[in-house]
Amino acid sequence: METIESAAPGAGLDNLPIFTVGEISQSVKGALEGAFARVRVRGEISGFKRAGSGHLYFSLKDADAVLDAVCWRGTAGRLAIAPDDGVEVIATGRITSYPQRSRYQIVVEALELSGEGALLKLLEERRAKLGREGLFDADRKKPLPFLPDVIGVVTSPTGAVIRDILHRIGERFPRRVLVWPVLVQGDAAAAQIAAAIAGFNALPAGGAAPRPDLLIVARGGGSLEDLWAFNEEAVVRAVAESRIPVISAVGHETDTTLIDYAADHRAPTPSAAAEAAVPVRLELLAQVIELGTRVLATVRRTLAERAMRLEGLARGLPDLARVIEESAQRLDDWTERLTNGLEVGLERRRARLGALAAGLVDPRARLARARDRLEAESRALAAAARSLLRDARSRLGRVSDLLESASFERVLERGFALVSERGGAPIATAAETAPGMDIAIRFSDAEAAATVTGSQVAPAERQRPRRAGRKDTRQGELL
């Protein structure tokens, strides 16, 4: 071990050696590791945290001091208990220093609870935590099958527990039992028990290994430390998540573990678990025989009562032969009346049909009269049409003559002319013309083109002198 005296000193005025900070830190580290290579320290865990690397960091404290602690990732997975704040533990490891911060610490290699009081405290805290998650709720519990075909047992393959269970099942009602051997005490027990419960649930129905209808998790009595595997969170969660009903039978009647709260049924002993798993075969046979006897007696009594009632009802029935004879007579009577009624009805309808047929008129005579009437009406219609056509033609001739006499062409024949623009719009007054304007003049026989060359004439000159002679009173003036 490197000591301060062995370090190379530097020259000083007071002849004391001079060391670097690193040399001092390494010397202290060597002294601590040499003096405390393996120690066990009791204290309460405080400030626990798990780094992203997987290493655990916390402190151990008591009333007088605080000691930093670290647990490397490779060791953390092998710890017997999970560190948590407030738990009093005994840590096994070595004392070393952390030179970068000038702090000493214990490197934890093992961790165990310190005393039964710490175990009870941890147990109560874990029970409260899992209870808040609902793992112990009554509505999660499943009913036990009345008579399971296959029973799975999670326990140690040796010892009195498995023998008691097999003996009680065989004595009460022999069933097929599958044993999943596990450790029931120690650091690896909790993982094996949880894996066994999950393994039974993972068995497929109809596979090579039959899937149990009921599970029994059992072990004998012991101290709180001996039964601690059945208080581990992994085991409690496996029991609560099991799809197969679970009976918890751990310890003696006074022992209580957390799986007792999560199981579907708690048995005080492994033998009591076997009794809860299957009924007594002889008792079932006796009960079946008793029920069969009661059913047979009930059937006999019911049949006797029904026979007696049937006899009473039969006495109240009339003579069937007499009833049939009366019915046959009524049937003959109704048959005769029906036959007579049919004959009378047919004669009556035949007479009525003859009377109606006599009153019918020959359709050929009716057709001849209708044809004569149609021809007369057709002749009258043709005469009326010719008369209407003559009247219409006469009115049309008079209207045509009137229209012809009022036509402007007759006016043109009397020496008048129609002046219009080249486009065809008529010119009624001289004021509508202008010098150089092209116009068309229509006479009675043809149309002539002309151009206006003169200026407008005075209004007095526009008036046309009336012709001497007698005024024509046959039609009015057009212009």
Domain coordinates of the chain in residue numbers? 21-113, 123-279, 408-453
Nearest residue to 253 via CA among 232, 270, 236: 270
pLDDT above 60: residue 85: yes
Going by pLDDT thresholds of 50, 70 and 90, the confidence category of residue 459 is low
What's the pLDDT tens digit per position in 411-440? 777 778 888 887 778 887 888 888 878 888
d(CA 321, CA 378): 84
DSSP code at position 426: B
Q: Letter for the amino acid at 409? A: E
| pLDDT recorded at residue 1 | 43
| pLDDT recorded at residue 471 | 47
Going by pLDDT thresholds of 50, 70 and 90, the confidence category of residue 116 is low
Going by pLDDT thresholds of 50, 70 and 90, the confidence category of residue 30 is confident
| pLDDT recorded at residue 282 | 87
pLDDT above 70: residue 464: no
In sequence order, the 6+-apart residues with CB closer than 8 A to the CB of 150 are: 175, 176, 177, 178, 210, 211, 212, 213, 214
The answer to whether 62 touches 100, Cβ cutoff 8 Å, is no
What's the pLDDT tens digit per position in 126-146? 888 888 999 889 899 999 999
Going by pLDDT thresholds of 50, 70 and 90, the confidence category of residue 124 is confident
Strands 103-113 and 66-71: parallel
CATH fold group of domain 21-113: OB fold (Dihydrolipoamide Acetyltransferase, E2P) (2.40.50)
| pLDDT recorded at residue 477 | 47
DSSP code at position 11: -
pTM of this structure? 0.46
Average pLDDT score over the chain: 83
Alpha helix stretches (DSSP H) within 359-443: 363-405, 408-413
Nearest residue to 96 via CA among 42, 33, 3, 39: 33
The answer to whether 475 touches 406, Cβ cutoff 8 Å, is yes
State the CB neighbour count (10 A cutoff) for residue 257. 25
CATH of domain 123-279: 3.40.50.261
User: Worst-scoring range by mean pLDDT, 50-54, 286-290, 372-376, 419-423?
Assistant: 419-423
pLDDT above 80: residue 5: no
User: Worst-scoring range by mean pLDDT, 284-288, 299-303, 309-313, 426-430?
Assistant: 426-430
Going by pLDDT thresholds of 50, 70 and 90, the confidence category of residue 154 is very high
| pLDDT recorded at residue 456 | 56
| pLDDT recorded at residue 256 | 84
| pLDDT recorded at residue 118 | 64
User: E strands, 51-167, where?
Assistant: 56-61, 66-71, 88-98, 103-113, 150-155
The answer to whether 241 touches 259, Cβ cutoff 8 Å, is no
Percent of the chain with pLDDT over 70: 91
| pLDDT recorded at residue 467 | 44
